[in-house]
Structure 1
Amino acid sequence: MAEKPTIDRAVRDFIWNVVEIHSQIEEIHKSWAELLGLTEPQWLILMAIDELDQGSGVSGIAVASKLRIHPAFVTNQTKKLEATQFLVREPSPDDARFVQMSLTEKARAEISKLSSKREALNSALLEGLDQASLDYLNKRLTSIAKNSRLASQKLSTGAL
């Protein structure tokens, strides 16, 4: 019977650690955004486009899905980013009703200027973790993310 309280405590500790990490990473994103004269959501949209673009642009739906935000918000913000020349929005070659987005050279240059600071930050953030430890951690976090999506779905449908 002592097992349940120990697991419950470990889960609560894990959740509070995730909350703390999320809060700190949010502050980091705000700082990066401010350096480019952007809002935090705009910075995250640029990072998602950079991550997802395989050379032919990326859809707003893919960006919204990656960031877990509403596609209309992505559309609104990407229009603003286009006005500041941080990204290009072009009709999809497959279906002109949809837009494909890519970072501009200006955006890539501005992001590149931050690379040494980002490398230093990453080193500080992950101090004490070698590549094998980081790979192990990322595999476990991927599993927890998948399980949390399933648990959330079960809770919202009344299965839990």
Structure 2
Amino acid sequence: MPYRHNAQKIKVTALEPAKAPGTADCDLSYQVIWDFVSISNNLEDIRRAWAKLFGISGSQWLILMAISDLDKGNGVSVGDVSEKIHAVSTFVTTQTKILERLGLINRVTSTTDARVVLMSLSETARQKMTELMPRWEALHEYIFRDFDAAAMNDVKAKLEMLKRRTKVAMQRVAEDN
């Protein structure tokens, strides 16, 4: 695998001492990575299917979901959405203007900072999402049915750790290039 050779170039500067994993450990970690790739691809396909119900792209659906998740009643900034979906703000700005033209979101200038645009779901988008909620909840129930609250919290904590570590690893790989 090409990843093994490149992985050896990463400088280990973490606070924890690095352990030299055995071959079985490496093989298992590679399989976990491939499982993440598979899960990511499946989630992407699900996102496209939901987006199709709205007549929008998968990326636009992701933006709608981020706005829905982040907005606590005052709107959410382009920067916050960009951070949530790991996309550059110019992309989010372009896509949210399209979503506004489609009547799915509202965009208003912040009253406290004219440089900031705050976004919220339109009534049309909220109504469509409410109609889809039973299907959405059934999907989540199916995916996570074997996890109790403790297991979900454990998985969430481990994924957060992996998210942080992969971000650092990505930065280290970028430094090596």
Normalising by structure 1, we get a TM-score of 0.93
Matches within 5 A, 1:81-160: 81-158=99-176
Task: Please say if 1:48 is aligned against 2:74.
Answer: no
Unaligned runs of 5+ residues in structure 2 are 1-19
Residues in 2 aligned to 1:152 and 1:58: alpha-carbon distance in whole angstroms:
28
Measure the CA separation in 1 of the matches of 2:168 and 2:112: 32
The higher radius of gyration belongs to 2
SS at 1:101 equivalent: strand
1:28 to 39, 46, 53: 46
2: distance between equivalents of 1:141 and 1:130?
A: 16
Aligned partner of 2:149: which letter? Q
Q: By how many angstroms is 1:3 displaced?
A: 5.0
Where 2:94 maps in the other structure, the secondary structure is helix
| Structure 1: unaligned runs, 5 residues or longer | none
Q: What is the CA RMSD across the aligned residues, in angstroms?
A: 1.6
The percent of aligned pairs where both chains have the same amino acid is: 35
Aligned length: 158
User: Which structure exhibits the higher relative contact order, with contacts defined as CA atoms closer than 8 Å and separated by 6 or more residues?
Assistant: 2
| One-letter identity of the residue aligned with 2:53 | L
Q: Counterparts of 1:92 and 1:154 in 2: how far apart (Å)?
A: 37
Amino acid at match of 2:137: E
1: distance between equivalents of 2:168 and 2:88?
Answer: 20
CA displacement at 1:33 relative to structure 2: 0.6
TM-score of the superposition, structure 2-length normalised? 0.84
Alignment partners' CA distance in 1, 2:72 and 2:148: 28
Residue matched to 2:55: 37
| CA displacement, residues 84-116 of structure 1 (integer Å, 9 cap, x when unaligned) | 111110001222122111111111111111111
Once superposed, which parts of structure 1, at least 4 consecutive aligned residues long, lie more than 3 Å away? none
Q: Give the distance between the partners of 1:60 and 1:121, measured in 2 at CA.
A: 28
Q: Does 1:8 align with 2:22?
A: no
Secondary structure at the aligned position of 1:157 is classed as: helix
What is the identity, as a one-letter code, of the residue corresponding to 2:109? Answer: P
